[in-house]
Amino acid sequence: MDKTNRVGRLPSFFQGNQMKFFKQALKYGSPAALLAAGSAHAALDLTPMTGAFSATDIVVGILAIGATLAVVYTAQKAATIVLGMLRGR
């Protein structure tokens, strides 16, 4: 396999079917995304779903997850220290 990368030549992972898919995604992806965004903007109303919770609920949830991870880390570190003392390390 030739590993030289000449100007105008694509890397080996762009050869074959992957390149065909990539070109089609570039060709049809943008117009499809614009059409979907334009039609979804007028028809989709998310206020009932987003009004069910506030930013405070999200912040409290994130802080609770962080506190749980901190407790788990501290417990693991304490167990490592105690086991190290017992083994004489």
pLDDT tens digits for range 1-44: 555 555 556 555 555 666 666 677 667 676 666 566 555 556 67
Amino acid at 65: I
Residue 54, pLDDT score: 86
Confidence bin at 85 (pLDDT 50/70/90) = very high
Does residue 53 sit in the same domain as residue 37?
Answer: no
Domain extent, residue 33, equals: 11-44
pTM: 0.43
13: amino acid identity, one letter: F
Closest by alpha carbon to 31, among 20, 39, 43, 21? 39
Question: Same domain, yes or no, for 39 and 56?
Answer: no
Quote the pLDDT of residue 53: 81
More confident residue, 2 or 76: 76
Number of domains in the chain: 2
Are 58 and 19 in the same domain?
no
81 domain residue, yes or no: yes
pLDDT bucket at 45, cuts 50 / 70 / 90: confident
At position 11, the amino acid (one-letter code) is P
Same domain membership, residue 82 and residue 60 = yes
What is the reported pLDDT for 77?
A: 97
